Chain A
Amino acid sequence: GAVVSQHPSRVICKSGTSVKIECRSLDFQATTMFWYRQFPKQSLMLMATSNEGSKATYEQGVEKDKFLINHASLTLSTLTVTSAHPEDSSFYICSARDHNRGYEKLFFGSGTQLSVL
């Protein structure tokens, strides 16, 4: 069964609004979660690393003021796309590593398809 839950799976919003995406680890504690973005026919691009209790680490070129990440607990990280615009439309995926299952395994959420009108 799914070990990482991501909601919502799909969201359509108007330009200028903010959208929050939740990522939960269901049966393990994740001190670190990762947020990816995928454009059609392209690879998963790491946006940021979410650290529980501290600030997220953003990859080069990712606007931290636009993509707000909060990792308030060991099982929940949220990504808020602020003042969304059509160019923010994309597939967003979160992931978390369960060290108890083998350090190399990264479990992914089911993704969120964001469409900004």
Chain B
Amino acid sequence: DQQVKQNSPSLSVQEGRISILNCDYTNSMFDYFLWYKKYPAEGPTFLISISSIKDKNEDGRFTVFLNKSAKHLSLHIVPSQPGDSAVYFCAALTGNQFYFGTGTSLTVIP
């Protein structure tokens, strides 16, 4: 049972515009959410996170929004750059267990 879902397998955005990646979850016990970025044949790298007690966290061009009532998480990248092209995984944490979404492949077109 997939507890964390990313329904868009791919997304293409023009350079300079905003990229919005979405993530939905089902388990209300998740208390921490994270986004990871992954290039081909490499391990994921941590990007940004948010605690369940917050609804927004910002770090430079990256902002994560959390809507607990809707069990929805989103990552905004603005402005998007070609180097942002990668697969983005959202993850949710409860206790010692991480649950990952299936990933969204972002392509930023120059």
A104, B32: Cβ atoms closer than 8 Å: yes
B49, A109: Cβ atoms closer than 8 Å: no
How many of chain B's residues touch chain A, expressed as a range?
Answer: 20 to 34
B49, A110: Cβ atoms closer than 8 Å: no
Residues in B whose Cβ lies below 8 Å from that of A4 = 43
Does any Cβ of B come within 8 Å of A54's Cβ?
A: no
For the complex, give the distance between the alpha carbons of A108 and B9 in Å.
22
Residues in A whose Cβ lies below 8 Å from that of B2 = 43
Residues in B whose Cβ lies below 8 Å from that of A41 = 9, 102-103
A44, B96: Cβ atoms closer than 8 Å: no
Q: Mark B72-102, 1 if CB is under 8 A from A, else 0.
A: 0000000000000000010101001110111
Q: B43: nearest residue on chain A (CB-CB)?
A: A108
Does any Cβ of B come within 8 Å of A95's Cβ?
A: yes
B102, A105: Cβ atoms closer than 8 Å: no
For the complex, give the distance between the alpha carbons of A32 and B91 in Å.
18
Whole-angstrom distance from the CB of A80 to the nearest CB of chain B? 19
Residues in A whose Cβ lies below 8 Å from that of B45 = 108
A-B contact pairs, 5 of them (CB 8 A): A32-B96, A95-B43, A105-B34, A108-B45, A111-B41
Residues of B bordering A, CB below 8 Å? 2, 9, 32, 34, 36, 41-46, 49, 89, 91, 93, 96-98, 100-103
